[in-house]
Amino acid sequence: MPTKIEPFYKALGSNIQEARERRKMTQSRLGLALTPSSTRASIANIENGKQRVLVHTLVQMAESLDVKIQDLLPANSQAVAAPSPKDVERELKRKLNLAAPQLKKLTARLATTNHGDHA
């Protein structure tokens, strides 16, 4: 079963790919510019949002691509898609291994908290 790509990493990877292509650099060459070096497959996974990027690697990528780190980071509108209540419930169930009654109680509490006044 394929895993769902996190929107932030999908947008980050797309920005990295665009910057790399503007520099006419191959994935292999970008991977070799990093310390420790990365494989072409690893760079491809990063660009496709399937692999997270460590901060020091992102800094090295920006330097190798001659761009600012901010240029690689996704804009808020690209990165943030609010999860549906079902997505939240599924993730809570998976991570916390809660029984159905506990899960319903927790998600009901979250729903009332999210609709209250925020000071």
pLDDT in tens, 28-63: 999 999 999 999 999 999 999 999 999 999 999 999
Residue 106 and residue 101: Cα distance in Å, rounded? 9
Q: Who wins on pLDDT, 2 or 31? A: 31
Does 104 lie in the same domain as 56?
Answer: no
pTM over 0.75: no
Query: Which pLDDT score, from 0 to 100, does residue 18 have?
Result: 97
Q: Over the stretch 61-110, which tens digit does the pLDDT of each residue have?
A: 999 999 999 999 998 654 455 567 777 777 777 777 777 787 777 777 66
Instruction: Tell me how many domains the chain contains.
Output: 2
Does 18 lie in the same domain as 51?
Answer: yes
Task: Report how far apart, in Å, the C-alpha atoms of 72 and of each of 16, 25, 31, 67, 79 are.
Answer: 6, 16, 16, 8, 12
- Token readout for 12 is 């980050």
Domain that holds residue 98: 85-114
What is the rounded end-to-end Cα distance, in angstroms, of the chain?
A: 42
Does 12 lie in the same domain as 48?
Answer: yes
